Amino acid sequence: MDTTVGGTDSTERPRGPRLEWTVVSSDIGPLLLAATPEGLVRVEFHAGPDRVDAMIGPLVSRLGADARRPAPGAEVLLAEPVRQLRAYFSGALRRFDLPLDWRLSSGFNRQVLQELDRSVPYGAVVGYGELAARVGQPGAAQAVGNAMGSNPLPLVVACHRVVENDGGIGGFGGGVETKRLLLALEGVLPQPLF
Say how far residue 29 (Cα) sits from the centre of its chain: 14
pTM for this one?
Answer: 0.87
pLDDT for the residue numbered 65: 83
pLDDT for the residue numbered 87: 97
pLDDT for the residue numbered 8: 37
Other CB atoms closer than 10 Å to residue 113's CB: what's the count? 26
pLDDT for the residue numbered 13: 41
Question: Across the beta sheet with 39-44, what order do the strands follow?
Answer: 39-44, 31-36, 18-24, 66-68
- Annotated catalytic residue within 43, 159, 163, 181: 159
Annotation marks residue 154 as catalytic: no
CA terminus-to-terminus distance, the chain: 68
Instruction: Collect the ranges in the chain with pLDDT lower than 50.
Output: 1-14, 194
What's the farthest any 2 CA atoms get from each other in the chain?
70
